[in-house]
Amino acid sequence: MQIGPYILKNRLIVAPMAGVTDRPFRMLCKRLGAGHAVSEMITSNAMLYGNDKTRRRANFEGELAPVSVQIAGSDPAQMAEAARHNVAAGAQIIDINMGCPAKKVCNVLAGSALLQDEARVARILDAVVKAVDVPVTLKTRLGFRNGEENVLRIARLAEELGIATIALHGRTREDMYNGAARFELIREVKRTLRIPVIANGDITTPAKARAVLDFTGADAIMIGRAAQGRPWIFREIDHYLSTGHTLPPPPVAEIKHILLEHLQDHYAFHGEYSGCRIARKHIAWYTQGLPGSNAFRVAMYRLESTAQQAAAVSDYFDGLSRDHEFLVYADDAISTPIAA
């Protein structure tokens, strides 16, 4: 898989997720097998460049190349300036967000709301590609509304205007994250374009990853929610794609080590107050469905310091390890079919 001059180590990419794919999470996923990762979206509003949240999102220190930064907005000139700003800060790839379905993003005509205005899409793509000398990629959906899917037109436009790679989530904005992802249009886009195409949506297991790649012909796959609390999914999929064999689940002791390592990087990055509070959702994802996890999370949510939080996590997994060497995480989409 190649994006511009960058050859990725495999075909597995961490999807950009607001409030999730910060630098510690991206670096962890890369260590555990992801070939590439895209940052959580950064606003194109220059007035917000100096606030703490935006500064943290634009912090790429120590991250393995290539560094890909996603920008979001609706004004072509602002998007071009945001691209230049982030390249100056160290971005090696700029990704344009035209896929986010969140109401607060769509209400300002950004994210997937842009799919309603193809002329504006063209102006944004053209402005950003011309603004920087690094590859520009696009993350989008099948369309804004069901029955009005326009991804084929958007994809052709993107290729014509110089987009290096396009990542497609197999739902419309109307779908949000409901129902099963649809891959037929992703397959059509891949058959139409010359640039690399990345398939995204409901890829939760190694077998599903193989099926999506085979069905769509995509050059790579992008994984988002399935990596929350399970960052080792990338090595599992990479191993399966390479060998056809399934890795055993990680031992309890390794999950504990991965989570505590993640937490320490997370605390150092976000600081004591924010680090403790933001970490709660990560801990909840890591422990979801495990024995005694409901009671553990109720107690963990009350803790107000990072030291207390990390100690509680350590004690919880120590308790699990006394009865379990391995833990099996249930997959709610393991049997989701791909329509022919």
Between the two ends of the chain, the Cα-to-Cα distance in Å is 25
Report the DSSP pairing between strands 6-7 and 2-3: antiparallel
Look up tokens 């992008």; give the residue: 222
Q: 155: closest CA among 165, 146, 147? A: 165
Q: 328: closest CA among 225, 230, 228? A: 230
Return the DSSP state at 338: -
* Residue 136 near residue 130, CB atoms below 8 Å: no
Specify burial of residue 16 (Cβ count, 10 A radius: 0-12, 13-18, 19+): buried
Q: What are phi and psi of 202, to 5 degrees?
A: 60, 25
3-state DSSP assignment of residue 274: helix
Distance CA 60, CA 65 (A): 10
Q: 249: closest CA among 321, 175, 178, 325? A: 325
Please say if 100 is a catalytic residue.
yes
Catalytic residue among 29, 100, 106, 276: 100
Return the DSSP state at 207: H
* Residue 120 near residue 74, CB atoms below 8 Å: yes
Residues paired with residue 2 on neighbouring β-strands, in sequence order: 7
* Residue 197 near residue 189, CB atoms below 8 Å: yes
Report the DSSP pairing between strands 12-14 and 6-7: unpaired
Q: Which two tokens stand for residue 24?
A: 């510690």
Annotated catalytic residues are 100
